[in-house]
Amino acid sequence: MGSEMINRRSTLKSLALGAVSLLAIAAGGTFSAQAENKMLKIGFVGVTSGPAAAWGTSNVRSMQTRADWINETGGVKIGDDTYNITIVTFDDQKDPKRAIAGMEKMAQEGIRYVVGPNVDDGAAAVRPVAESKGIIYFPYAFPKSLYVAPASNAVLGMVANYQSGPAIYKYLKENKGVKRVAFIAANESDPLSQRDSGVAAAKELGLEVVAETDTYQTDTRDFTPVLTPIMQLKPDLLVLSGVAPANAPLLIRAARELGYEGLISAETAQDATVLQEGAGELANGFISVGGASTPEIRTPMMEEFIDRYIKKFGEYNDESNTKVYALEYIIETLKANPKAIDDVEEFKKTMDTFSAPNPYAKNGTLKYVGMTSFGQKRQVSVPMVVTEFKDGAFQTLFVGEVD
Amino acid sequence: MEQVIANGLYLGAQYALIALGLTLIFALMNVLNFAHGQMYVLGGFVTYSIYGQLKLPFVIALICSGVTLAIVGALMEKFLFRTVIRRSKREESTMLLAAATAFFLDAVVLLLFGEKQRGVPKIISGVFVSDRVILPYDRILVGVVAIVMIATFMLFMQYSKPGRAMRALAQDRIAAQLMGVKVERYSMIGFALGAMLAGIVGGLLVSITGVNSGIGGPISIKAFLMVMIGGAGVVGGAIAGGFILGMMESVGLTVLRAYGDITYLVIFALLMIFLSIRPHGLMGKPWG
Amino acid sequence: MSRSRANTVKIVSAALFLLVLLVVVPLLIAATGRSDLYYTLTSVALLSIISAGVWITFYIGRINIGQGAYALMGGYVSAILVMNYGVSFWLTLPLAGLFCAAASVLIGLPILRLRGVYFAMVTLVLTEVTRLLALAVPTITNGASGIVSIPLPAGISFFGVTLVPDFATLANPRLAFYIVSVLLMALCFLGLYRLAHSRIGQLCQSLQQNEELASSIGVNIAYLRIIAYALSSFLGGVGGAMFASISQSIYPSSFTVADSVNFMLNCFLGGLGYVLGPMLGTFVLYFGWDLLFETEEFQLLIFSTVLIALMLVLPNGLLSLTLPHKWRA
């Protein structure tokens, strides 16, 4: 009887597993590869569900839009072969433990280039896997330890706040007479680290920091209580450190409705529709580091990308202005050095000298930067577009560059 | 300081309304509804679609939110919770079911409405400004509506026939059954009512704070806190809990800000100390 | 069927199971080249250890949604000892567990008086409290920046004989972590089985049913509850420490409320009445999610639908399908 029980138990396990895997296969079977071209798989590990879903979703959608576009127009020629791009995604649910599993999965699939993760803890957790399995990954996380040697496999996919913050504060100090700055951040790793570097940058510029310890829970829906004491300090500039696109309009609205008349800024990319819906005209004048593209600097190719994105997913996300770049950098670098297609060491060598015209921004160049911040080229160069929100759209204040 | 108290009162009214539905479902069925926050989110999106997208009047949108959620709640009770309660050996199993429904609603909302934060045009613009207090009119309105709804709900529970039946059910299920209360029917009505409250408050607050598909879980947890302070399964407790939490947040964020990032740590620690002194909250049932 | 024969069958099947995990699985992985499975299986083993802790608290009739707090604590204790004091990781593993056990006694003394949903909700808050604490004391925990670049576990030698090799020198540290985790899991569930069948286990079951009655027949329930909760937290701490070492980093957000809820779900799903419940529950939940990876945006929808269906069909846990009464703990 004992052995029978064991059999039945294992049968049950395999049944349960079998059922789930059947489902998986059925869904997976809908993919069909085009026969003529070779396939180049590019991975994504990041968050596409839960409260932070917006971050990863804009990555995945940018990548899929661009990949479909490339495949539709016959693929991309790297060396002697033409490839179709396949995007392999993994939702880590913002859990670093899952992110590791995702990176292992990418390694298993033979993927060498991965976009993500979206947050600090995930990016730190996947580092051992990426380095041991030979994967280059493009996190949207700012800790310098990821990019400074001996770390060598991570490439920052955007402009870090310790790069954009000083530029914004300097501009506002010189052009708008800002003297007193207040900071507010969510009590989570990423925003808090960004706040700390923002405070340091502001102090260095000789600005008076009147509030630097105020924080809110990420699930806060009503920001009036947390903003009330700060507003009484009458700062000239309120910095929303590391603010999530979902919270920005709520913070802006609460501050304005409390009678705040100074400037508000953020160093993370925001979403125009979300701002317009959530805060309306109260958001006018809000300064943020835009999604690396504005109508003024956009090329026809960027316009087409946006069109295709909207056709595919219904609504554009301004964050994708930045997130379109990682895949482009990977492909262009591979084109420059076809050997890198399965050897990331070749990729790293090419990074030092790589340069190509930027297809998305007028007069721009694709190149790797980061010497000042990290001592090695471990960051993609995207236009640092500082924008001002006005009546539902971002308008360019100034465009900068990271070195 | 007046501003801080006004903030706290407004926050409290909104919290109390959120906690009501949760505590009602708990009182009737001993189910800790993990999906409460997701119901709130769904209600928010219904209002967003009807008021924000279709441009129909806000009141109609609110009613639609309530009706949609009442239907969802009734279906959930009839086809999910009733079955599991009957078949399960331990009543905690409903917690797993509730968590699974929470995931399910999360997934549905994410697929239908996307991952972005959504908002609607203000229902009334303008801000009330005096020397000491600044309050936007829409917040005042929402606060008043919340209080009116809480009062209506309490009157309904106190005097109407279904209200009385549900209270009997909450007090003693078996005795209520013996006295001729149709237990299944009123469980379903109660669940639908609880869900409806979540939906309406979700819809109501869209006008102030918007809605996004990820906030369901955190809202549930907030609601648990309030219910815990006041005592699970008691309507008065949920209301008291909501106001206490709202006031603590408002005052704490002002008074403790000089000490850095500790307001919520202090609130949670106080809560744990309070509960170890009063294990059933302010007015909860001892067997809760 | 005699009792001793039943016991023999149990021991043989447990040994077989362990043999499969330690020998057959690595061979299969080597044959198929699916080396990513090492990490996922390691995760399952560790998560099931942490979930086993939750199971123990269920055993005393408490719903514990705060296990993530102890996992986080354990991770930090181990990381801090390794990084700041140069203690060997292998020593920090039990130390992390003991630290959590001690902390849980302090926390448990007041909160174990709570019952039902009150206990559940307080523990739910506990995870958040620990996260906020980790952020609030940056001098100890390095605050928001987390602790990163933790070295891999060093070796243990005994009179010149290498008992455990230095993980950093291994060609495949994933395999080593897998072996360690499986052994820890085996130890944990062996202990759990012993516990469930000991006198304390029987007493705990009486608590589950009726605390007043148990105390009236002279059971020191307060003491019993504290012991069980401390054991539970010990397992949480050990699991957390292992995770910190594998990911070579720990952040305040490494274990969150969502993890705590998952640990509880694992127990529920496997079945609260069965010692092996947490293991099976973790396995199914983790791999269920992983297999649904292919379905992309429908992942969560399918996952939750399956979960709801399982609850409708098997509300007493997966193991209720197969195990006759005798196997119940």
ipTM for the predicted complex comes to 0.90
Q: Do A225 and B253 touch (CB under 8 A)?
A: yes
Contacting residues for C217 by C-beta, under 8 A, at least 6 apart:
none
Predicted local confidence at residue A34, as pLDDT: 45
Of the given ranges (A250-259, A306-315, B5-14, B175-184), which has the lowest mean pLDDT?
A: B175-184
* Percent of chain C with pLDDT strictly greater than 90: 48
Q: Does A59 touch chain B (CB under 8 A)?
A: no
State how far residue A10 is from chain C, nearest Cα, in angstroms. Answer: 10
Q: Do A189 and C39 touch (CB under 8 A)?
A: no
Q: Do C247 and A196 touch (CB under 8 A)?
A: no
Contacting residues for C238 by C-beta, under 8 A, at least 6 apart:
C49, C74, C93, C94, C96, C97, C184
Q: Does C33 touch chain B (CB under 8 A)?
A: no
Hunting for tokens 């243990």 — which residue is that?
C156
Chain C interface, mutation test: which of A10, A45, A95, most C Cβ atoms within 10 Å? A95
Q: Does A355 touch chain B (CB under 8 A)?
A: no
Q: Is C7 a member of any domain?
A: no
Q: Do C306 and A127 touch (CB under 8 A)?
A: no
Q: Does C252 touch chain A (CB under 8 A)?
A: yes
Host H or E run for residue A379: strand A379-380
State how far residue C217 is from chain A, nearest Cα, in angstroms. Answer: 36
pLDDT grade, residue C9 (50/70/90)? confident
Predicted local confidence at residue A179, as pLDDT: 95
A99, closest residue in chain C (CA to CA): C247
For B60-94, write each residue's pLDDT tens digit. Answer: 999 999 999 999 999 999 999 998 888 877 767 78
Q: Do A17 and C294 touch (CB under 8 A)?
A: no
Q: Do C146 and A13 touch (CB under 8 A)?
A: no
Q: Does C267 touch chain A (CB under 8 A)?
A: no
Predicted local confidence at residue C2, as pLDDT: 64
Q: Is C261 a member of any domain?
A: yes
C148 has a pLDDT exceeding 70: yes
Chain A residues with CB-CB distance to C72 below 8 A: none
State how far residue A287 is from chain C, nearest Cα, in angstroms. Answer: 25
Per-domain residue ranges for chain B?
2-277
Predicted local confidence at residue A27, as pLDDT: 47
Strands C156-158 and C161-164: antiparallel
Among C264, C300, C312, beta carbon nearest to B84: C312
Chain A residues with CB-CB distance to B212 below 8 A: 51, 54, 246
Q: How many CB atoms lie within 10 A of CB C297?
A: 15
Question: Higher model confidence: residue B103 or residue C2?
Answer: B103
For chain A, positions 254-273, list CB contacts with chain B under 8 A.
257-259, 271, 273
State how far residue B124 is from chain C, nearest Cα, in angstroms. Answer: 37
Q: Does C7 touch chain A (CB under 8 A)?
A: no
Among C111, C132, C315, beta carbon nearest to B84: C315
Q: HSE on the CB side for B188, CA within 13 Å?
A: 13
State how far residue B58 is from chain C, nearest Cα, in angstroms. Answer: 30
State how far residue A57 is from chain B, nearest Cα, in angstroms. Answer: 8
Hunting for tokens 């380095």 — which residue is that?
A131
In angstroms, the Cα distances linking B176 to B32, B150, B158, B287 are 21, 25, 16, 18
Q: Do A277 and B119 touch (CB under 8 A)?
A: yes
Contacting residues for C43 by C-beta, under 8 A, at least 6 apart:
A97, A100, A101, C286
C320, closest residue in chain A (CA to CA): A9
Q: Do A47 and A53 meet the contact criterion of CB atoms below 8 Å apart? A: yes
B90, closest residue in chain C (CA to CA): C316
Q: Do C256 and A95 touch (CB under 8 A)?
A: yes
Residues in chain B: 288
State how far residue B283 is from chain C, nearest Cα, in angstroms. Answer: 13
Predicted local confidence at residue B278, as pLDDT: 85
List the domain range (segments joined by +) for residue C119.
35-328
State how far residue C203 is from chain B, nearest Cα, in angstroms. Answer: 19
Q: Does C146 touch chain A (CB under 8 A)?
A: yes
* Percent of chain B with pLDDT strictly greater than 90: 48
DSSP percent split of chain B into helix, strand, coil, nearest 5: 75, 5, 20
Q: Do B127 and A259 touch (CB under 8 A)?
A: yes
State how far residue C187 is from chain B, nearest Cα, in angstroms. Answer: 28
- Domains in chain C: how many in total? 1
User: Across chain C, what does the average pLDDT equal?
Assistant: 87
Q: Do A245 and B117 touch (CB under 8 A)?
A: yes
Domains A38-158+294-382 and A161-291 share a fold: yes
Q: Do B116 and A215 touch (CB under 8 A)?
A: no
Q: Does A284 touch chain B (CB under 8 A)?
A: no
Among B95, B103, B262, beta carbon nearest to C136: B262
For C21-40, write each residue's pLDDT tens digit. Answer: 999 999 999 899 888 899 99
Write the single-letter amino acid at B180: G
Subunits that touch chain C (at least 3 Cβ pairs < 8 angstroms)? Answer: A, B
Q: Which of B157, B160, B180, B155 is nearest to B170 (CA)?
A: B157
B126 has a pLDDT exceeding 90: no
Q: Does A210 touch chain B (CB under 8 A)?
A: no
Predicted local confidence at residue A7, as pLDDT: 45
State how far residue C309 is from chain B, nearest Cα, in angstroms. Answer: 9
Q: Which of C112, C126, C127, C124 is nearest to C57 (CA)?
A: C112
Three-state SS string over B36-99 comes to HHHHHHHHHHHHHHHHHHCCCCHHHHHHHHHHHHHHHHHHHHHHHHHHHHHHCCCCCHHHHHHH
For B132-166, write each residue's pLDDT tens digit. Answer: 888 899 899 999 999 999 999 999 998 999 999 98
Using CA atoms, how far apart are residues A198 and A163, in angstroms rounded to an integer? 9
Q: Do C13 and A27 touch (CB under 8 A)?
A: no
Using CA atoms, how far apart are residues B15 and C320, in angstroms rounded to an integer? 40
The angle subtended at Cα B163 by Cα B157 and Cα B166, nearest 5°, is 115
Instruction: Enter the pTM of the model.
Output: 0.88
Q: Which fold has domain A38-158+294-382?
A: Rossmann fold (3.40.50)
Q: Does A132 touch chain B (CB under 8 A)?
A: no
C50 has a pLDDT exceeding 90: yes
Using CA atoms, how far apart are residues C191 and C53, in angstroms rounded to an integer? 11
pLDDT grade, residue B127 (50/70/90)? confident
Chain A residues with CB-CB distance to B249 below 8 A: 225
In CATH, the number for domain B2-277 is 1.10.3470
Using CA atoms, how far apart are residues C13 and C19, in angstroms rounded to an integer? 10
Q: Do B101 and C304 touch (CB under 8 A)?
A: yes
Question: Higher model confidence: residue C215 or residue B207?
Answer: B207
User: What residues pair up with A390 in beta bridges, in sequence order?
Assistant: A393
Subunits that touch chain A (at least 3 Cβ pairs < 8 angstroms)? Answer: B, C
If you write DSSP's letter for every residue of A207-271 in order, what string do you get? -EEEEEEEEE-TT----HHHHHHHHTT--SEEEEET--TTTHHHHHHHHHHTT--SEEEESS---
Q: How many A×C Cβ pairs under 8 Å?
A: 146
Hunting for tokens 């995930």 — which residue is that?
A122
Ranges of residues in chain A whose predicted pLDDT is under 50: 1-15, 18, 21-34
In CATH, the number for domain A161-291 is 3.40.50.2300
Of the given ranges (A223-237, C278-292, C312-326), which has the lowest mean pLDDT?
A: C312-326
In angstroms, the Cα distances linking C291 to A94, C24, C40, C45, C297 are 18, 21, 11, 17, 13
Predicted local confidence at residue B259, as pLDDT: 81
Contacting residues for A58 by C-beta, under 8 A, at least 6 apart:
A317, A319, A320, A323
B14, closest residue in chain A (CA to CA): A222
Predicted local confidence at residue C168, as pLDDT: 85
Question: Higher model confidence: residue A9 or residue B53?
Answer: B53
Among B97, B265, B280, beta carbon nearest to C129: B265
- Is residue C162 helix, strand or coil? strand
Q: Does A50 touch chain B (CB under 8 A)?
A: yes
Predicted local confidence at residue C329, as pLDDT: 43
If you write DSSP's letter for every residue of A194-209 in order, what string do you get? HHHHHHHHHHHTT-EE
Per-domain residue ranges for chain A?
38-158+294-382, 161-291
Chain B residues with CB-CB distance to A277 below 8 A: 52, 117-120, 210
A188, closest residue in chain C (CA to CA): C144
Q: Which of B115, B112, B142, B144 is nearest to B205 (CA)?
A: B142
- Is residue B163 helix, strand or coil? helix
C159 has a pLDDT exceeding 90: no
Query: Which residues in B213-234 are b (16+ Cβ under 10 Å) and which e?
Result: bbbbbbbbbbbbbbbbbbbbbb
